[in-house]
């Protein structure tokens, strides 16, 4: 198969793979295959009896499949991790790595509609077979629902006003491209903050299109049962909404509230934090701008 050489620069490559504490003959999963950077690094550390499974629902990423007998690429959303691993007879794994968010390739391919830089159709689907797109959200969501998406996923204080403006504008003509949306919302985009606010708006729509937070929750809930004793979880996130879920789940085994205590006041938690939060150094950020917001958290099965 033809490799897409510039698909994606793997962020926190050595740190995230080292966090898995790889056993040469273990079974590992890279749930966000992308350009294969993390997978290739894992394979370097695996022995002849080791096995690596990878997930990616994006056909562009699937073109990067690695030719290695120890490697299997599963073309599905990682929210179904347990189901598809069982198809291969795997019930337990020694480590799972997730590099969340949108790949550099997806941002750089104009027609995918992820980036504010290009005048492209409002798509934003990671799986292009999915029915829900950015276009449908912008043009057909009711005003209140649209406002909730912008507030909850874009953390925009004026989400209601932005939603109202979109709904008013689409009555005259459908909003089909990123630049049309930008033009509709120009009153909310002061020059000094234009890029930041647009990024928040696009992030909100993209998260809704791909159900990113629901997918992350479903994935994390499967991890304790999937990991072997002392198995490792290594997760890189890029915005506070993702990182908050990962942090809370590692700390409490829950996404909200506090875990229940037993009769003696003890709490039984499925995971244990390994080390401190890891962020990229200035050298990596200079080399790869996408790394600037990355946060790596590592945990082990108790």
Mean pLDDT of the chain: 91
Superfamily of domain 113-210 in the CATH hierarchy: Putative methyltransferase TM0872, insert domain (1.10.150.170)
Distance CA 242, CA 26 (A): 28
Q: What strand order describes the sheet that includes 227-237?
A: 71-74, 51-55, 27-30, 93-99, 227-237, 295-301, 271-273
Query: pLDDT tens-digit profile of 205-218?
Result: 999 999 999 999 99
**pTM check: above 0.75:** yes
- Is the pLDDT at 5 greater than 90? The verdict is no
Q: Single out the residue of 193, 138, 135 nearest to residue 165, CA to CA.
A: 138
| Domain ranges for the chain | 13-104+212-301, 113-210
- Is the pLDDT at 110 greater than 70? The verdict is no
The reported pLDDT for the residue numbered 117 is 73
Distance CA 20, CA 41 (A): 11
Element (H, E) at 62: helix 59-62
For residues 115-135, give the mean pLDDT. 86
Query: pLDDT tens-digit profile of 222-261?
Result: 999 999 999 999 999 999 999 999 999 999 999 998 888 8
The reported pLDDT for the residue numbered 129 is 85
Distance CA 86, CA 250 (A): 24
- Residue found under tokens 């198969």: 1
CATH 3.40.50.150 fits 13-104+212-301, yes or no: yes
Strands 93-99 and 71-74: unpaired
> Do 113-210 and 13-104+212-301 have the same topology in CATH?
no
């Amino acid at each position: 198969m033809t490799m897409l050489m510039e698909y994606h620069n793997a962020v926190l490559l050595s740190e995230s793979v080292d966090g898995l504490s790889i056993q040469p003959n273990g079974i590992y999963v890279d749930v966000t295959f992308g350009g294969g950077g993390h997978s290739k690094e894992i394979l370097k550390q695996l022995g002849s009896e080791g096995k690596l499974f990878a997930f990616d629902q994006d056909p562009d990423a699937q073109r990067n499949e690695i030719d290695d007998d120890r490697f299997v690429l599963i073309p599905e959303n990682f929210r179904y991790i347990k189901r598809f691993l069982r198809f291969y007879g795997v019930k337990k794994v020694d480590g799972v790595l997730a590099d969340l968010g949108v790949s550099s390739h997806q941002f750089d391919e104009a027609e995918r509609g992820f980036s504010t830089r290009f005048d492209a159709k409002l798509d934003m689907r990671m799986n292009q077979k999915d029915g829900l797109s950015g276009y449908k959200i912008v043009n057909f969501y009711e005003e209140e629902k649209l406002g909730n998406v912008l507030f909850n996923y874009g953390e925009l204080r004026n989400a209601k006003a932005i939603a109202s403006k979109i709904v008013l504008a689409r009555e005259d003509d459908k909003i089909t491209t990123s630049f049309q949306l930008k033009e509709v919302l120009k009153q909310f985009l002061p020059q000094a903050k234009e890029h930041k606010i647009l990024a928040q708006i696009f992030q909100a729509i993209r998260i809704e299109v791909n159900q990113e937070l629901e997918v992350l929750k479903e994935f994390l809930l499967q991890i304790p049962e999937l990991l072997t004793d002392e198995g490792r979880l290594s997760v890189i996130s890029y915005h506070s909404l993702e990182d908050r879920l990962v942090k809370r789940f590692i700390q409490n085994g829950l996404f909200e509230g506090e875990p229940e205590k037993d009769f003696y006041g003890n709490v039984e938690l499925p995971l244990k934090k390994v080390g401190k939060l890891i962020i990229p150094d200035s050298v990596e950020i200079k080399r790869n701008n996408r790394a600037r917001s990355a946060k790596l958290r590592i945990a082990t099965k108790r």
